[in-house]
Every structure is written in C-alpha cells, then in structure tokens.
C-alpha cells in the first residue's frame, strides 16, 4: 500500500534531494485522501475540518481509521473511533497551535509501525513535531523533535531508520539554533547530545554585563569566577538544554578573547555572582530578541 513507501529508500544526497523527498513523503502520507485530491490537498485546508487517514499503524495488515482535528487547545485524535487526546496529554504531549493536518510517517521502516506526526507552531514559532505510535491497543507518545516534518522550514527530516535530522535551540532572549540528530531509543525520541554547540558565525557583539555574573571556564562547570559589571562581552551561542525548560550554557568572550561560559536557564535567565537566576535583560545589555 501507498504508506509503505514513506521514507523508504536511500537517503537522497544534498538539499534538493531532501526537498523532493519530503514532497514525496507528503504525497504518500496523504493516504486517506482520494488520489485525485492529493496534489492540491494542502492548499484546501481550512481551520477546523476533520482529516481522515486510513493507514496500517501497527503492521497487522489491517488499516486503522485515523481522524484528526485541530482544536483551540491542541488537537483531537481518534483511532478506529477511540479518542486518544486525553491519553496523549497525560503522557505529556502538548501541541500548541497545532497544524490542520497530521501526517503518517514511518520513522523506522524495519519495525512494522507507522507513526502519526502531529505538527505545531508553539507560542512563538517554536515549531515542533510530536510522534504517536499505535501499538494495537492504544496510543504511545514517542516524544518529539523541534522542526516540522511536512517540509516547511525549519524542517525535521526523518531518515527512515529511527533517526531525525533537526536542530536544537537555546535562547538568552537571543536565540541560537544548531543542527542536531535525534533518534528513537527505547520508545522515546532522544537528542544525540554534543559536547557543546559553538558557531563563530553566530557570534554577536556589543553586550555589556549589567551586574556581576557567574562564569565558568568550561561547560562542565569548573573554574567558577565572576565577571564584573560593565565588562564588554560578545556572545557566541549556546549548548542545548536537555529539556525545553532546562538549563544550558552560553559562551561569552571578553575583549581579551578569554572565554567565559555563562550558566543560563530557559527561556532567558542567567546565573549571577550570588548563584541566583537573573532575567537576562537585567543581567546583560544589548541582547536582541532572536538576534
Ligand atoms: Ca493495523
Ligand atoms: Ca516503522
């Protein structure tokens, strides 16, 4: 059946290949839509219409009937008539500003399951795709990744082998975004942590410490010292937080070029010299929203 084709095959080389690949994914994932409607279906969407898909989610050879509808508070999802929204919310799935349609995505073509991808835009362009598996009995929330699997930028690109190429972002009023790989491990989408994300191209200048800041020699947290108020800084970027509300690190450089790792808490607080959190705007001058 059509859906078996999603994400199968070799990883196309290069960006153009991915665009084509995603286009194929979109078409093949519209499995409940009559073939003649597939080409124009995304443009025909309206706010709250119910989407119907017919797809074998658990690999038992029989299609499940999936209905999905965006709501003011998130989305409704039913499989063979059984409403699963509450179950998924209890499992931690939040989809703020969910998209009008979900997609059937085969995260791992070797495991017999086809997942439902719920895309959302979040509160402030915090694009996200969450994955739901139907195991024959109920829905299992697999977690999610930043980015959208429907081809819109910022994109998340499944490889069909359990991995998703996406990104991590962290912000101290300014937001930094770095490429990152995610992988389905033990039924949970997990970011493959890197030691530290730094990109010289994302360096921003003309910051000034407004208060005494705590700083460290490395993102392991050693060599704690204090940056004096009035110190001119450049900010390079940030490591990812392991959880959206977690902590991360921002790398600052002073005029001598000496690096200082600042401990930061999502979505915009920095550790002061007393070891407490201070709102970033009160701690560092010159931060620009999403600069
Ligand atoms: Ca089935
Ligand atoms: Ca699969």
- Residues 65-109 have pLDDT tens digits of 999 999 988 999 999 999 998 899 999 998 999 999 999 999 999
**112 C-alpha to center of ligand 1: Å?**
10
Residue 12: is its pLDDT beyond 70?
no
Ligand 2 centroid to Cα of residue 2, in Å, is 14
Q: Which ligand is nearest to the CA of 105?
A: 2
129 with 202, same domain: the answer is no
Give the number of other Cβ atoms within 10 Å of residue 30's Cβ: 22
Cα–chain-centroid distance for residue 232?
33
Q: Which residues does 45 contact at the CB level (< 8 Å), separation at least 6? A: 100, 101
Percent of the chain residues topping a pLDDT of 70 = 80
**Rounded alpha-carbon distances, angstroms, from residue 158 to 41, 57, 129, 144, 245:** 22, 17, 11, 12, 25
pLDDT tier for residue 43 given thresholds of 50, 70 and 90: very low
- Percent of the chain topping pLDDT 90: 54
Cα–Cα distance for residue pair 101/211, rounded to 1 Å: 47
Half-sphere exposure of 223 (CA within 13 A, CB side): 11
- pLDDT given at position 173: 79
36 found inside a domain: yes
207 and 100 share one domain: no
Last residue of a domain, one of 78, 110, 142: 142
Given this model, what pLDDT does residue 91 score?
94
How many angstroms is it from 240 CA to the middle of ligand 2? 28
- Domain residues for 45? 3-142
**125 lies in the same domain as 39:** yes
Total-model pTM: 0.72
How many angstroms separate the alpha carbon of residue 79 from the centre of ligand 1? 10
- Tokens for 226, please give them: 């204090």
- Which one of the ligands is nearest to 110 CA? 2
Q: What is the mean pLDDT of the chain?
A: 81
**Same domain membership, residue 130 and residue 19:** yes
Residue 114: CB atoms within 10 A of its CB come to 26
Q: Which ligand is nearest to the CA of 57?
A: 1
Q: What is the dihedral of CA 71, 77, 81, 82, to 10 degrees?
A: -110
């Amino acid at each position: 059946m059509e859906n078996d084709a999603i994400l199968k095959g070799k990883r196309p080389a290069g960006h153009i290949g991915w665009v084509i690949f995603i286009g194929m994914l979109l078409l093949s994932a519209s499995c409940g839509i009559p073939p003649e409607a597939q080409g124009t279906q995304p443009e025909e969407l309206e706010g709250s219409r119910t989407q119907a898909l017919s797809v074998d989610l658990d690999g038992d050879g029989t299609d499940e009937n999936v209905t999905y509808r965006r709501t003011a508070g998130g989305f409704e999802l039913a499989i063979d008539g059984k409403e699963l929204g509450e179950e998924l919310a209890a499992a931690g799935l939040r989809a703020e500003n969910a998209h009008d349609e979900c997609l059937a995505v085969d995260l791992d073509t070797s495991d017999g399951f086809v997942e439902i991808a719920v895309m959302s835009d979040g509160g402030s362009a915090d694009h996200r795709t969450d994955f739901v598996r139907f195991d024959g009995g109920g829905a299992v929330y697999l977690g999610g990744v930043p980015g959208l699997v429907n081809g819109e930028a910022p994109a998340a690109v499944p490889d069909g082998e359990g991995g998703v190429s996406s990104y991590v972002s962290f912000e101290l009023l300014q937001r930094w975004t770095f490429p990152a790989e995610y992988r389905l491990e033990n039924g949970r989408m997990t970011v493959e942590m890197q030691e530290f994300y730094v990109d010289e191209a994302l360096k921003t200048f003309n910051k000034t410490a407004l208060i005494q800041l705590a700083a460290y020699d490395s993102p392991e947290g050693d060599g704690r010292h204090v940056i004096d108020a009035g110190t001119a800084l450049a900010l390079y970027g940030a490591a990812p937080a392991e959880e959206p509300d977690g902590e991360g690190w921002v790398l600052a450089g002073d005029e001598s070029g000496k690096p200082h790792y600042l401990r930061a808490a999502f979505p915009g607080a920095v550790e002061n010299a007393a070891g407490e959190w201070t709102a970033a705007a009160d701690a560092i001058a010159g931060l620009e929203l999403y600069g």
